[in-house]
Amino acid sequence: MSESKIWDDVDDYFTTHLTPDDEVLAAALRDSEAAALPQIAVAAPQGKLLQLFAQIQGARNILEIGTLGGYSTIWLARALPADGRLVSLEYSPRHAEVATRNIARAGLDKLVEIRVGPALESLSRLADEAPAPFDLVFIDADKDNNPHYLEWALKLTRPGSLIIVDNVVRGGRVADSGSTDPDVTGTRAAIELIGSHPKLSGTAIQTVGSKGYDGFALARVLP
């Protein structure tokens, strides 16, 4: 049995028992695929992990960078109270359109606001609005901008907020100090910023599963 087949089987087993049939999430993935969006949403056990983090945080305000079809958005927004808010930033109008439908079907359209455009521009505009600090930030867009997204996340959060960065391992390529791949250099810069920033305490965890060999970085904002 190949490694990745075992990873798939274990994710299937966990999904069957821990995140069982959910028609809204299944439909979100189905419609994303039908619209030919890349199939790079988090896996179900990872989506549930994001939701648990948001619940543990007692999150009322969540910021997501990289919406795609809104799959991770739905997991996160379900952790919010009725008067909570999730702002999700997405470059592609086509992705945002699919996500908007998926989020409406999930009954979360009152809580979720998708902002279309390059995230760095949306973040600058968002900061101008001086929003309530975000309790959780999920960074999952173009990896070369990860250090910039982290800097914006620091501006838009409070001590105690949690920042999560997706895809920090990428099959192990993150360990290649000689890489010139902007995804790798951007992710390495983000990891090193977490490690050196006086206002961040963080770690990174390697994961395997139906999405291959990858990982999350987690950072708590310090006073």
> Would you call 221 helix, strand, or coil by DSSP?
strand
Residue 90 binds Mg ion, judged by CB under 5 A = no
What is the rounded end-to-end Cα distance, in angstroms, of the chain?
48
Residue at shortest CB range from ligand DHB: 40
Residue 134 binds ligand SAH, judged by CB under 6 A = no
Residue 29 binds ligand DHB, judged by CB under 6 A = no
Among positions 135-194, residues that touch ligand DHB (CB under 6 A) are 140, 166-167
Handedness of CA 25, 39, 84, 135 (dihedral sign): positive
Residue 11 binds Mg ion, judged by CB under 5 A = no
**Least gap, CB of 118 to ligand SAH (angstroms):** 4
Residue 135 binds Mg ion, judged by CB under 5 A = no
Could you give the CA distance from residue 183 to residue 157 in angstroms, rounded to a whole number? 24
Could you give the CA distance from residue 45 to residue 71 in angstroms, rounded to a whole number? 12
- Among residues 135 and 166, whose Cβ is nearest to Mg ion? 166
Could you give the CA distance from residue 132 to residue 127 in angstroms, rounded to a whole number? 10
What is the number of residues in the chain? 223
Question: Using CB under 6 A, which of 7, 51, 63, 71 touches ligand SAH?
Answer: 71
Could you give the CA distance from residue 110 to residue 220 in angstroms, rounded to a whole number? 28
Residue 92 binds ligand SAH, judged by CB under 6 A = yes
Residue 40 binds ligand DHB, judged by CB under 6 A = yes
DSSP letter (8 states) at residue 132: P
Contact in structure between 31 and 2 (CB atoms under 8 Å): no
Distance set, CA 16 to CA 42, 88, 136, 173, 191 (Å): 16, 28, 27, 31, 33
Question: Using CB under 6 A, which of 142, 151, 181, 183 touches ligand SAH?
Answer: 142
Question: Using CB under 6 A, which of 24, 35, 118, 151 touches ligand SAH?
Answer: 118
Specify which residues 136 forms β-bridges with. 62, 162
Residue 208 binds ligand DHB, judged by CB under 6 A = no
Question: Using CB under 6 A, which of 42, 59, 153, 163 touches ligand SAH?
Answer: 42
Contact in structure between 62 and 131 (CB atoms under 8 Å): no
Question: Using CB under 5 A, which of 43, 102, 140, 164 touches Mg ion?
Answer: 140
**Least gap, CB of 130 to ligand DHB (angstroms):** 29
The footprint of ligand DHB (CB under 6 A) covers 40, 140, 166-167
Residues forming contacts to Mg ion in the complex (CB under 5 A) are 140, 166-167
